[in-house]
Amino acid sequence: MLHITLFRATLIAALLVLPAGLRGAAAEPITIGIAEIDYKDTSGESQDQQAAHAERAKLFAEALRKDLGASGKYKIVTLDCGKNPCSVENQIPEDLIAAAKKAGARLLVYGGVHKMSTLVQNMKAQAVDVAADRLVFERLITFRGDSDGAWARAEGFLAKELLEQPLAQ
């Protein structure tokens, strides 16, 4: 028993004197800006759901920021486009990229949801490495339903996809 305790103490002492790079220092989180989510409804439904959709799109972006930030892989930065919402539909691409760079973002995530029918919605999401000036992620996500639950599942799926991809090298 004494030799195991002595071995552990020796191992810990050896690890403490290793240079930080060899000890496996944690990587710095990647800075990421997440634009607001655009929404387009061409379903032809008679009920006006514009306010509900705007709220769901806002909550989607907030949840995505929260999920990516909580992972420790990303550090969320706030985009300031000078006018709201800070999204692809409301900005020219150069201004959106400039807002990401100004905020210190290495990556910019943006996208929009298109409600095609009563049951089917598509979301196109993309991520750009603003430092390298290249597209590093692109997904078309189809989800059923137009409820808080359907939107939450779509956001969770997108967050998982973004976390699993090596977006910045």
User: Domain containing 77 — which CATH number?
Assistant: 3.40.50.10070
Q: 94: domain range?
A: 27-164
Q: Please give the pLDDT value at position 83.
A: 78
Summary mean pLDDT of the chain: 87
Q: Residue range 141-146: average pLDDT?
A: 94
- Mean pLDDT value of segment 83-99: 91
Q: Which residue, 125, 97, 119, 144, is CA-closest to 43?
A: 119
Question: At 96, is the secondary structure helix, strand, or coil?
Answer: helix
Question: Is it the case that residue 120 has pLDDT exceeding 50?
Answer: yes
pTM here is: 0.82
10 belongs to a structural domain: no
Residue 103: the pLDDT is 97
The count of domains in the chain is: 1
Q: Contacts for 155-163 with beta carbons within 8 Å, 24 or more apart?
A: 155/60, 155/63, 155/64, 155/67, 156/67, 158/64, 158/123, 158/125, 159/63, 159/64, 159/67, 159/68, 161/137, 162/64, 162/68, 162/109, 162/127, 162/137, 163/67, 163/68, 163/71, 163/73
Q: Give residue 85's pLDDT band: very low, low, confident or very high (50, 70, 90).
A: confident
Is 2 among the domain residues?
Answer: no
13 domain-assigned: no
Its sign, for the CA torsion 156, 157, 162, 165, is positive
Instruction: Please provide residue 152's backbone torsions phi and psi, each rounded to the nearest 5 degrees.
Output: -65, -40
Predicted pLDDT at 3: 44
Q: Is 72 a domain residue?
A: yes
Q: In this structure, is residue 60 part of a structural domain? A: yes
Has residue 147 got a pLDDT over 90? Answer: yes
Domain contains 78: yes
pLDDT, residue 10, reads: 41
Residues forming a β-bridge with 77: 33
Measured CA to CA, the distance from residue 86 to residue 38 in angstroms comes to: 9
Residue 68 lies in a domain: yes
Tens digit of each residue's pLDDT (9 = 90 or more) over 9-66: 443 444 444 444 444 456 899 999 999 999 999 999 999 899 999 999 999 999 999 9
In this predicted structure, what is the pLDDT of residue 109?
98
Tell me, yes or no, whether 112 lies in a domain.
yes
Per the CB < 8 A criterion, the answer to whether 98 and 82 are in contact is no
